[in-house]
Every structure is written in structure tokens, then in C-alpha cells.
Structure 1
Amino acid sequence: MNYTLDFTPVINGLPSLLAACLGTLGLAVGGMVLAIIIGIGGVILRDSPIRPVRWLVKAFVELIRNTPFLVQIFFIYFALPLAGLRLDPTPTAIIALGINGGAYAIEIIRGGVQSISKGQVEAGLALGLHKSQVFRLIVLKPALRAIYPSLTSQFILLTLTTSVASAIAAYELTSVAQRIESDSFRSFEVYGAVTLFYLVMSWLLMSIFGLIQSRYFSYPVK
């Protein structure tokens, strides 16, 4: 079968695709901010002295981590309106991404906090440091150093997961690519270009996060 490559639809749609990349990053940033908020709140509740609260957090983590993201976003977009809560595609995508990422962030942040031994905190207090100084110097930065690689990997994964939001027509790269493909029927060219866009975004994010890590979260050289 002869197939002639024609990237004209991709070239013509390039402004829309580039704008959609910003939409993808916007969904990812919004979802990650919500995920971190859920993660911090979940860690606090996870260690609550109230047993049912701890059980609820554990159940939330297991539920989200063991169900498909597509089902989660469909539930928010199609099922919640039956209960009177109707959301547009973009807020739905951000909330779904935040909830999904939050379940993983709870475990990531909790692991970072638990990596700081109580002895270090007690030593800081014994040296006369204020509680805020102990938190900032002894707890916060080592904990961030411990969880930073996992959090950044989760952010990149969340960025790629935004493509699922095309199932509810949220504004992001894959949904725009689907419209261009449906108009041109040039599947190979359109989705080949989209693959390249995702690779470039992932590489740029990894590079930026790597620079931040080397500047702020690297271990001192002895």
C-alpha cells in the first residue's frame, strides 16, 4: 500500500497545537497543585488519633490507586450531574487529576516526613532552635529533598495523563489533535507530531526539574 506523507494539516494547525500544549500544562499544574494540597491534608489526617479518619484516608488512597483514571474522570463528569453537580470539562479534568495525583502524593509526602527521625528534631530543640527553625532547617528541606524526585516524576506523569481528558473534550493537546485528524484524516502525521510534542514537553520539564534539584535539593559534596 502506497502512502504519501502530507504534514500540511499539522503545519496549518501548528498554532492550535502549540496553544493546546499550554492548555495541557495548565491542566497539569492545576491538577498538581490540588494533588499537593490533598497530599498534605491526607498526611495530616492519615496520622490522626481518630481511627475512622485514618481508615477513610487509607480507603481513599486504595480506591483511587486501584481504579482507572478514565473511570474517575467519567464519574465526575457524567455521574455527579445526576446529584446536581455539573462541571465544565476543564474544571472536571483539573479536579480528576488532582484527586488521582493526591492519592499518590499522600504516600510520597508521608514517606518524606517519616524519613526524618525524631532524634533529629529533638536534637534541634536541645540546641535551642525555635520550633519554626526546626521545621524549616531540620524537617522541611530534608523532607523535600527526599520526596522531590518522586513529586517531579508524578508531575510529568500527570502531564501525560492529561491526554485522557480528551475523552470529555477538555482543552488540551490530544483533543485538539483529534479535531485536526478528523478534519484531515492524516492520522500518522497528526499523532506523530503530537507524540513529538509530548516528548519535548517531558524533556523540558525533566530538564527544568533537574536544574532546580541541583540548585536547591542536591546533597552537599563532602
Structure 2
Amino acid sequence: MSYTFDFSALLPYWPVFLQGVWLTLKLSALATVLGFVVGTLCAIARADGPSWLKFLVAVYVETIRNTPLLVQIFLVYFGFASMGLKVSANTAAVAALVVNVGAYTCEIVRAGLESIHKSQLEAAECLGLTRTQTYWHVIVRPAIERVYPALTSQYVLLMLASSITSQISAEELTAVANRIQSDTFRSFETYIVTGALYIVLSFVVRVAFILFGLVIFPRRRKLGTAI
């Protein structure tokens, strides 16, 4: 039994692959930014909110962490349709990814918030900082800096998990690969190229986070520990 590789059949489709890569990056970037905001707010609420809000956030986090992403995507996609809301597959994909990564971000950031020692809060009071200044400069920003490597890994995983949105016809890289292999009948070659593109994307996203960390965390830039 032998198999002859023929990647030449895929050459005419390189613009289509690039379109899939671009949409994957867009979906991931939107979900990362919105998911970070949702997760951080939920972490603050769970760490320093009223009991009823802590309970609601806990239910949200545990529900998301204990159900498959694919089920969540279907619930969001078909849920919008059931409510009469006409949204594109890409919009539903972003919404589902935000809901998912927001829960994981919440737990990561909450761990960072809980790592802040009470003595730092006492020092902030002695310096006369307002509650808002204390929360931002003494609690939230240092907490995020401490968990930045974990957040980075989570968002790289998010980019890879975006491939599941192909199940609702979001035209990201995996969906594009499915269409190309059905046109060319070169499934093995198509998914080898797709896998290689995901590896490149993971590297690019991780480097982008390293550079971003150097910009927003001056102390890490001085120590050379952006990640």
C-alpha cells in the first residue's frame, strides 16, 4: 500500500487558506479582548462582590468549565435563532468563544487577585490612595502581571479552539480546509498544511503576547521576563 503526496493541487487555494488564517486571527483577537474584560469583571465580582453576585459568577464559571465548547457554541448559535435574532455564524462564534474564555479568565485573574498580600493594601491606605487607585495600581494590575503567562497560554488555546466554530459554518481556517479537501480530494495534504498553519499561528500569537507584555509591564521589560 502506497500513497503519493501531491501538494501541487493545493497551490491555487493559497488565497483561500490566507482568508481562513485572517478570520481565525480576527475571531481570536475579538474573543480575547472581550473575554478578558468579561473574565476580569467576573473575577473582581467573585473576589470582592456581594454574596448573590459571587454565587451567580460561580454558577457561570462552573457551568462553562464543565460543559464542552462545542455544546456551548451550539447553544449560542441556535439560541440566537430561537429568540428570533438573526446573527451571522461569525458573530455567534465570537459570542460563544467570549462566554467560554471569560470563565477561564475569571479563575486565572481571581488567582492573581488572591495573591496580593494584605500588607500592600495597608501600605496603599498609608499613602492616601483612593479605593479606585488602590484597586487598579495595587490589586488589579499587579495581579494581572502575575498571571500573565497563564493568560497567554489560555488565549493561545482559544485561538486553536476556534477551529470548532467550523461546525456552525464560521469561515475560519478549519472550515476553509474542509471545503478545500472536498474540492481537491487531497484530504491528507490539506490537513497537513492546515496543521502547519496552526503551528505558525501559535508561534505568532505567542510572540505577539511577549511583545505586548514588554510594553505594558515595564518591570518585566527590565527583568526580561515578558512571559
TM-score (norm: length of structure 2): 0.88
Unaligned runs of 5+ in 2: none
Pairwise CA distance, 1:45: 2.7
State the partner residue of 2:160.
160
- Matching of residues 149-188 of structure 1 within 5 Å: 149-188=149-188
Structure 1 position 136, deviation (Å): 4.9
Indicate yes or no: 2:213 matched with 1:213. yes
Larger mean CA deviation between 114-123 and 167-176 belongs to 114-123
- 2:60 and 2:103 in contact (8 A); partners too: yes
Residue identity in the other structure for 2:110: R
| Contact 1:61 1:104 (8 Å CA) reproduced | yes
User: How far off its partner does 1:211 sit?
Assistant: 3.6
Gapped regions of structure 1 (runs ≥ 5): none
Correspondence list, 1:1-222, <5 A: 1-47=1-47, 50-129=50-129, 134-214=134-214, 216=217, 218=220
CA apart distance, 1:63: 0.6
CA contact (8 A) 1:9 1:180 kept: no
CA distance in 2, matches of 1:49, 1:91: 30
The structural deviation recorded for 1:128 is 4.2
Which region of structure 1 is more displaced relative to structure 2, 49-58 or 100-109? 49-58
Instruction: Tell me the C-alpha RMSD between the 2 structures.
Output: 2.1
Give the CA deviation at 1:172.
Answer: 0.6
1:2-43 per-position Cα deviation (integer Å, ceiling 9, x unaligned): 322111232111111112111001001111122112112212
Q: Give the drift of 1:56.
A: 1.4
User: Kindly tell me: are residues 115 and 61 of structure 1, through their superposed partners in 2, closer, same or farther at Cα, counting changes over 3 Å?
Assistant: same
Tell me: CA distance 1:96–1:213, structure 2 relative to 1, closer, same or farther (3 Å): same
Equivalent position SS for 2:206: helix
Cα drift, residue 197 of structure 1: 0.2
